[in-house]
Structure 1
Amino acid sequence: MPLLPSCALPLAGASLAVPGPVPRATSPRDPLDRARARLATRLLSAAGRDGLLRAPCDSRLLESALALRLLTVTGVDADAQERLTRRLKTALDEGAPDPLQEAAARAALGEYVDGPAALTRLLGGFDHFTAGRKRLMFQTVLAELGAHPFPELPAPGAVFAAHGQQRWLVTEMAALKVLYAYGTGAPRLVGADDWRALAPSSRPGPPPYGNHLARILALLALRRHPRHAAAVRARARELRDGLREDGGLPFITGMDVFATATGGLALAGAGAPAHSLRALAAALAERRNPDGGWGFDRGVAQSDVDDTAYCVEFLRAVAPGRFGSEVAAGARYLLDRQGGDGGFPTFERGTVSEVAITAAAVNALAPDPAHRRAVEAAVGFVAARQEAAGPFERSWSLNESNALFRTVLAYDSFRAAAPGHPAGTAVARARERAVARLVDTQNADGGWGHLPSDPSDPISTAYALIAVARTPASPPARGAAERAVRHLLERQRPDGGFVSRPDQAGPRPLAYHVPLLTDVCVLLGLNHARAWCGAPAAR
């Protein structure tokens, strides 16, 4: 019988799943351990028949508005139109999450909207490398809904290009180009390559890349091509299959792969049964894409660095001997995407490197000595970027504490993998700055919000807790961790779970919500608190 490939073991004290020192024995009545046990039980109960944790995405106004637009212009499924209409009206009565989605919802309902003002309020403080593309996207979407004039573009044939970008973005930009061209009376701008990019969205089955937004935009564009008219109407009728119980449509199908990887790490840190962890790992291994990476949900063929890094870390933590080939393939996928600056993008090599994504790659690669040079370059990128711009990046998460906990863990991984390295002093300084930022911005109630002075929420608090709990030698950090634990324990619901405001962003900066991730993140935070700080101090 041939030997299975093996891989390096997790680094002691630097794994998200195995946080550090073995905790001292505690009483089964300890509130922290009770909270962790209830959370672990809740997560294990979320496993589906295929072994992955079920992590559906809540409905959102933008996709619901565009779905209503598609059903209206194609004239199909009056019942689904009514469900979407009720969802939009109810959400508007309750308060829209941002100006853009309010404008989209009202426009889809036929109400007057000042779209330009809404867009200005949304993007006025949005400082991100994608800001220009997002403005173009949202202008075009609101124009399709009748809430904004189509933008005046000096080179409309070029601004919608997305060469070298992730596949769902190529689809979105091709769709926006078609909507712009036909909306401005310039269909000649559309070429055969644009129609080819959109064609997969006309096929039966789940939306390509698990992205409802990209598919609806593609269908709205494809309705302009006579050859696709029948397929567009057929796919429009199938929209009802994607509606949530509240009648709305979500941004994406779900995040079952991402939730299984991160949830598996949380369950491993909580001491879940080995057979349960192996079942989760086996289900993940089966979902690996041919390029060696993983996407965020089942059936998503577009791999990304973030999901791949977490999958590699979980498989390494659970059974490095059994899943050695999958870990090696995932590592190759990651290394192939590292940029010349040492950083990692979310999707395709050659696109912009991001701090939080790079930190995730470091945590996945650091245990293997063969990847030492790549890890050194990546940590150098993170430290330099934080030195230049501050350690407060917000990426696919809406809060500071996400990138901060990831970078703290990456610094710890680097120091564990390369003790005595010449860069150790700079890394220690960057780590100290990151932790100090969290300590300084903790709210009076013991929690953290998306940004300093924002109300506390469980996800932001859990992220921050991972970082401050890993610094028990610092009295301020240890005190912050103890206050954070008390804050979270006071907010656990009778069913063992937690409720939080949305944390994920896409298209950035629009929020979307996958409720199961709240429980995953809180369990990760509480695991680190137990391992590094012991039981919470009494009041």
Structure 2
Amino acid sequence: MAARERVAAALSAAVGPDGAVRRPCASRTLESALLLVLLRERGTHPRQVRELGAYLDAGQAQATGFDTALTQSVLHGRRVDGDVVADELLAGFDHFSIARKRLLFDVHLAVAGAIPFDSSMLRPVRPGGVEGDNSVTWIEMIMLSVRILVADGLGRAKEITDLERERLLELLGSSRAPVWENYTAAHLLALLAVQRFAPAHRLVATGVEGVLACRNPDGGVPPMSNLDVFSTGPAGLALARAGAGRALLYRMCDYLIGQQMPDGGWAFGENMRHSDVDASSYAAACLAAVDPERHREALERAGGYFRGIVGPDGGFPTYVKGDPSEAGMTAGAVRALVWNGPRHGDLLDGAARWLLDAQHPDGTFERSWSLSEANTIWRVMWALHSMPQPTRTALKARIADASAASHRFLTRAQNEDGGWGYRPGDASDTASTCYSLLALAAMGRRPQEDTVVAAGLAHLVSRQGPDGAFTALPDQVAPRPLLFDAPVFTDIWVLLALTSSDSDEAR
């Protein structure tokens, strides 16, 4: 298929000499507004201030009320009318972190001047874990930054202790990357907080330079300064399915092995401290798809990571053992472990049962790190249909019922143009169409036998531009539920979808 060959060539060209897929995230309003506020407070970098203002003034194709409130405040000093966080941004958001999200987004707006600070925002912060464990220290750093910013905004800075200030400086200074953990918003919040009590501190000046260095040509700031590890995993998986040359694939795998963390997992970017199940799942699945024997040592270390983070319910969280299990993460972990099913049979059986219990009556699952219903459906169907024989046999009836429910959902959700949107009734978008086709392929549905698949493939190919490129709406979310756009993902999902209908690996 010509479309497949062209997108495979484009994705191959994105692989650097070291095997990494190095493509930046698109700029986003939140981080651009926070940097603009910080530079104004410091009275530095006038040219960059103008460029950030121009970027924000140009508007966003996917602008939300939250984006608009930030932009109107930092550019024109306007206060927001209504509660854009509860009424729009977090409407329908069902996640254990919702209270923290509400506080965080309100503080973003308050820092930008869109809403006033409120005493309910001033909360104590629980100290993080000890050095060397897998506790997510960015949560502690964000909450310390929030506490300092709110206290200052309320005129109650004396309530912040020296120990709290010292801890924030310690956390901020622990970064191996120019932008702390490659998480731009957390980095900027910490810089804004330190600006309140130690504006001349070297960490503020170097931190500002780190953010400025990762700005995009449009003048805006991306939400992640480095996503190269995460991008390389699924890209390698897609290129392996497409039959890319072994030299290219081995180069990508060698890069991933070089980025493996001491705990056996992977982080989403370079020079980070914290692994996560999502990045680890794609990296390990790539190594197994390319050559499991060549990569056995790294894969066995990854198996240790997954065994160490699995929850007592059989599911897997995103970051920290003990956090609630998530469907997308659990399905990803399955795909990372099935290369050696007999050794991990207990984990796979427990994960399969958890996934089956997690399905909603309409055939969907929680959306997790994507806005698209089809994303998690794909990952779960891919996981369930790749289980080793003992589990697949024992759960045959339940897997068949789960597949039928998801197939009914996807059939009903398909638009008249053959594509799928984030949710039923939404306009078709490229990423959701890819995920839907991948889910159907995982169930064994092929275009020669299933008109839903045939129509979906025809729609997907029709979205290819004259230059051979595909474009897609932003789909990934971080921090949830804020959208971010990593354009290279489009080629990855498209290539996976176009190769899924004739690939045994899709099942």
Deviation at 1:297, TM superposition (A): 1.6
Q: Equivalent residue for 2:217?
A: 245
Q: Equivalent residue for 1:332?
A: 304
Instruction: Return closer, same or farther for 1:512/1:161 CA change in 2, 3 Å cut-off.
Output: farther
Give 1:70-469 correspondences, 5 Å limit. Answer: 70-91=38-59, 97-114=63-80, 116-119=82-85, 120-153=87-120, 156-158=123-125, 166-191=136-161, 192-193=163-164, 195-202=166-173, 206-226=178-198, 229-368=201-340, 369-387=342-360, 391-414=364-387, 416=389, 418-421=391-394, 423-469=395-441
- What TM-score do you get using the length of structure 1 for normalisation? 0.87
Q: Equivalent residue for 2:13?
A: 45
Moved more, 249-258 or 523-532: 523-532
Q: Please tell me the root mean square deviation across aligned C-alpha atoms, in Å.
A: 2.4
Aligned amino acid, residue 300 of structure 1: M
Instruction: Return closer, same or farther for 1:471/1:233 CA change in 2, 3 Å cut-off.
Output: closer
Q: Would the aligned equivalents of 1:346 and 1:354 in 2 still touch at CA under 8 Å?
A: yes
Counterpart Cα distance in 1 of 2:426 and 2:231: 26
Counterpart Cα distance in 1 of 2:227 and 2:263: 19
Counterpart Cα distance in 2 of 1:377 and 1:297: 30
Cα shift readout 1:247-273 (whole Å, capped 9, x = no counterpart): 000100132111111011111111111
Instruction: Return closer, same or farther for 1:154/1:512 CA change in 2, 3 Å cut-off.
Output: closer
Counterpart Cα distance in 2 of 1:224 and 1:350: 35
Cα shift readout 1:118-163 (whole Å, capped 9, x = no counterpart): 22332233222222111110111111111112234297225x7776
Q: Would the aligned equivalents of 1:57 and 1:512 in 2 still touch at CA under 8 Å?
A: yes
Instruction: Return closer, same or farther for 1:204/1:316 CA change in 2, 3 Å cut-off.
Output: closer
Deviation at 1:231, TM superposition (A): 3.1
Counterpart Cα distance in 1 of 2:38 and 2:155: 20
Counterpart Cα distance in 2 of 1:199 and 1:76: 25
Cα shift readout 1:89-108 (whole Å, capped 9, x = no counterpart): 011xx556211111112211
Q: Would the aligned equivalents of 1:204 and 1:235 in 2 still touch at CA under 8 Å?
A: no
Instruction: Return closer, same or farther for 1:476/1:146 CA change in 2, 3 Å cut-off.
Output: farther
Q: Would the aligned equivalents of 2:437 and 2:497 in 1 still touch at CA under 8 Å?
A: yes
Cα shift readout 1:263-307 (whole Å, capped 9, x = no counterpart): 111111111111111111111111111121111122222110011
Deviation at 1:382, TM superposition (A): 1.1
Q: Equivalent residue for 1:17?
A: none
Cα shift readout 1:19-42 (whole Å, capped 9, x = no counterpart): xxxxxxxxxxxxxx2111111111
Counterpart Cα distance in 2 of 1:154 and 1:397: 28
Counterpart Cα distance in 2 of 1:477 and 1:304: 38
Counterpart Cα distance in 2 of 1:85 and 1:230: 26
Deviation at 1:373, TM superposition (A): 0.8
Q: Equivalent residue for 1:12?
A: none
Deviation at 1:390, TM superposition (A): 5.3
Deviation at 1:350, TM superposition (A): 0.6
Q: Would the aligned equivalents of 2:385 and 2:392 in 1 still touch at CA under 8 Å?
A: no
Structure 1: gaps of 5 or more residues: 1-32, 535-539
Q: Would the aligned equivalents of 1:268 and 1:318 in 2 still touch at CA under 8 Å?
A: yes
Counterpart Cα distance in 2 of 1:254 and 1:227: 26
Aligned amino acid, residue 323 of structure 1: H
Cα shift readout 1:373-429 (whole Å, capped 9, x = no counterpart): 1111111111111157852311111110000000101110125463422x2222221
